[in-house]
Amino acid sequence: MDENEFRGLLKLGLGRAILYARDHDVSDFRESILDACLHCYAYDPQVEGTRGEYMLELLDLTADKEFYYDEVLKALPCSGDDYDAVQRFRIAARLAAQGNERAKRVMYESYNPGPRHGESIAIEFLEMDGVNGLLFSTEKLGALLMTTNQKVDLGCLQYVAKERLGEQEVRDALQRAGANNPRLEAYRLAVEASRKSSDARLAHSSEMMNATYEQLRTKLPEMGFPWITSWGERASEPDIERAAHGLAAARDPRERSAHLRIFVRRRFPLDVQLLLSLVGVEEERVGLAALKALSQITHPAVRQLAFRLVERRASWRGEAIELLARNFSPGDHATALRWFEVEKDPEVRHALGLGLIDLWERYLDDETEVAMLHALYERGPCSFCREKTVRRLIERGAVKEDLRLECSFDANYGIRELAKGSPPAAARG
């Protein structure tokens, strides 16, 4: 295995990288290993988590793990407000839990929270030092709240703290400490205000879900896309018709994009040419929203569009297989799989992979499904999607011993659990 191949395995989080490090000297791959320690390569860390645990497991198999530990700790003070920082603090926290006093000290010295990921990192202090860790991190977050005009993401730390320590203990600790500490009090009050605002939004959302199109029309551009899609699923046929005419009349990109989201799971009732005319609009992701709406429609022009997107390597070509799923012809399984296998852009490949799953669910092709699932396993960038792929391979009895072993070292711990309960498939032939 060369370094490029090993680097690719690390970026995907496949267990094969750990198995290779177990059986081979990987000292020549130092640059790639360090890079994967310092940078989070999970496709969607919000769902998948970071790769901190996975990388520590790999480091334990190397001859110079202390070098990597040192480099991660040296990187902590200059970390930003991103998932790279979250992963670095996770690695440091695990080292601290193993008795590495330097790791703990550097964590406390380096924590300078940003508005997006400050709370995620704060959880490490909570889990490391309980109430004391909670008070330390919330004071830092309170100082941020008092000095920034940016929106600070709040809520996850309080949730985890209440789960770990108990709601009453957390409330009492913050109130006592906040009485003499304006930074802690600023954090406590901000979390309380955020909770009340969230409750109000949920109540308002519940009320608005039953509103008519005319009541919503002017508010749509301010609504979240998932909410709009949910409203569209529940809307009456007359309201869907009115919304379609509203889209036809819209000229502002934000208004168009919002209207299009109504039809992500509902069939657009007017002439398909209106949706086709919007596919090329990049602003406010109008083109992507138009393709989502077109994926609900069976029409020769939609099928032709799918091929045209791929041939021209259009920005939204990742939606091409979803378009085929509603406009299927014999031979499309092979075509769709080829599109996925030759695609190099991870984001596009992820979208195409979702389309593959949908296509085979709608039009099961027993002879090719296992080959498709193996392609998704090998090249899909998202470990959350890979978990679904492994589950389906298990259902098909297509997990042989080597794959089961590899899955037991995957970056996704859900895949590891699946592998534990999966008897290997019998060899054929």
Q: What is the pLDDT of residues 25-50, one digit of tens each?
A: 999 999 999 999 999 999 999 999 99
Give the rounded distance of the alpha carbon of 377 from its chain centre. Answer: 17
> Which range of residues forms the domain containing residue 298?
217-420
Residue 265 has pLDDT above 60, yes or no: yes
Q: For residue 67, is it within any domain?
A: yes
Alpha-carbon span 285 to 302, nearest angstrom: 19
Could you tell me if 234 and 154 lie in one domain? no
According to the model, what pLDDT value does residue 224 have? 87
Could you tell me if 231 and 380 lie in one domain? yes
Alpha-carbon span 184 to 136, nearest angstrom: 9
CB atoms within 10 A of CB 48: 23
Q: Which residues does 254 contact at the CB level (< 8 Å), separation at least 6? A: 221, 284
Could you tell me if 82 and 167 lie in one domain? yes
Q: For residue 167, is it within any domain?
A: yes
- State the residue for tokens 């021209």: 312
* 296: amino acid identity, one letter: Q
Residue 271 has pLDDT above 70, yes or no: yes
Could you tell me if 27 and 145 lie in one domain? yes
Q: How confident is the model at residue 203 (pLDDT cuts 50, 70, 90)?
A: confident
According to the model, what pLDDT value does residue 61 have? 97
Residue 382 has pLDDT above 50, yes or no: yes
Average pLDDT over residues 289-306: 97
Alpha-carbon span 326 to 303, nearest angstrom: 8
Question: Are 53 and 94 within 8 A, CB to CB?
Answer: yes
CB atoms within 10 A of CB 77: 11
Give the rounded distance of the alpha carbon of 182 from its chain centre. Answer: 35
Alpha-carbon span 84 to 74, nearest angstrom: 14
Domain limit, last residue, from 204, 229, 253: 204
- State the residue for tokens 């996925």: 340
Q: For residue 302, is it within any domain?
A: yes
Residue 117 is given by DSSP the state: T
Q: How confident is the model at residue 74 (pLDDT cuts 50, 70, 90)?
A: very high
Average pLDDT over residues 303-308: 98
- The pTM for the full model equals 0.91
Could you tell me if 224 and 195 lie in one domain? no
Question: Are 228 and 266 within 8 A, CB to CB?
Answer: no
According to the model, what pLDDT value does residue 259 have? 97
Q: For residue 57, is it within any domain?
A: yes
According to the model, what pLDDT value does residue 427 have? 41
User: How far is residue 333 from each of residues 307, 358, 379, 394, 399, measured CA to CA in Å?
Assistant: 13, 11, 17, 21, 22
CB atoms within 10 A of CB 332: 18
Residue 206 has pLDDT above 80, yes or no: no
Q: Is 205 exposed, middle or buried (0-12, 13-18, 19+ CB in 10 A)?
A: middle
Question: Are 214 and 242 within 8 A, CB to CB?
Answer: yes
Q: For residue 210, is it within any domain?
A: no
Q: For residue 333, is it within any domain?
A: yes
User: How far is residue 141 from each of residues 119, 128, 178, 257, 278, measured CA to CA in Å?
Assistant: 8, 17, 13, 35, 44
According to the model, what pLDDT value does residue 214 have? 94
What confidence tens digit (pLDDT) does each residue in 313-341 have? Answer: 999 999 999 999 999 999 999 999 999 99
Residue 19 has pLDDT above 60, yes or no: yes
Share of the chain above pLDDT 90, in %: 90
Question: Are 347 and 382 within 8 A, CB to CB?
Answer: no
Question: Are 297 and 272 within 8 A, CB to CB?
Answer: yes
Residue 227 has pLDDT above 60, yes or no: yes
According to the model, what pLDDT value does residue 428 have? 39
Average pLDDT, the chain: 94
Could you tell me if 226 and 118 lie in one domain? no
Could you tell me if 150 and 267 lie in one domain? no
According to the model, what pLDDT value does residue 176 have? 92
Residue 366 has pLDDT above 80, yes or no: yes
According to the model, what pLDDT value does residue 197 have? 77
Domain limit, last residue, from 180, 204, 228: 204
Could you tell me if 126 and 80 lie in one domain? yes
Could you tell me if 81 and 185 lie in one domain? yes
Q: Is 230 exposed, middle or buried (0-12, 13-18, 19+ CB in 10 A)?
A: middle
Question: Are 62 and 400 within 8 A, CB to CB?
Answer: no
Angle formed by the axes of helices 346-362 and 332-342, to 10°?
160
* CATH code of the domain in which 320 resides: 1.25.10
3-state secondary structure 239-258: HHHHHHHHHHHCCCHHHHHH
Give the rounded distance of the alpha carbon of 420 from its chain centre. Answer: 25
Could you tell me if 173 and 304 lie in one domain? no
Domain limit, last residue, from 171, 204, 237: 204
Residue 421 has pLDDT above 90, yes or no: no
Q: For residue 427, is it within any domain?
A: no
Residue 426 has pLDDT above 60, yes or no: no
Q: Which residues does 33 contact at the CB level (< 8 Å), separation at least 6? A: 10, 26, 55, 58, 59, 62, 68
Could you tell me if 19 and 103 lie in one domain? yes
Query: What's the number of domains the chain is made of?
Result: 2
According to the model, what pLDDT value does residue 424 have? 60
Q: For residue 340, is it within any domain?
A: yes
According to the model, what pLDDT value does residue 304 have? 97
Alpha-carbon span 29 to 3, nearest angstrom: 6
Could you tell me if 181 and 225 lie in one domain? no
Side-chain half-sphere exposure of 228, counting CA atoms within 13 A? 24
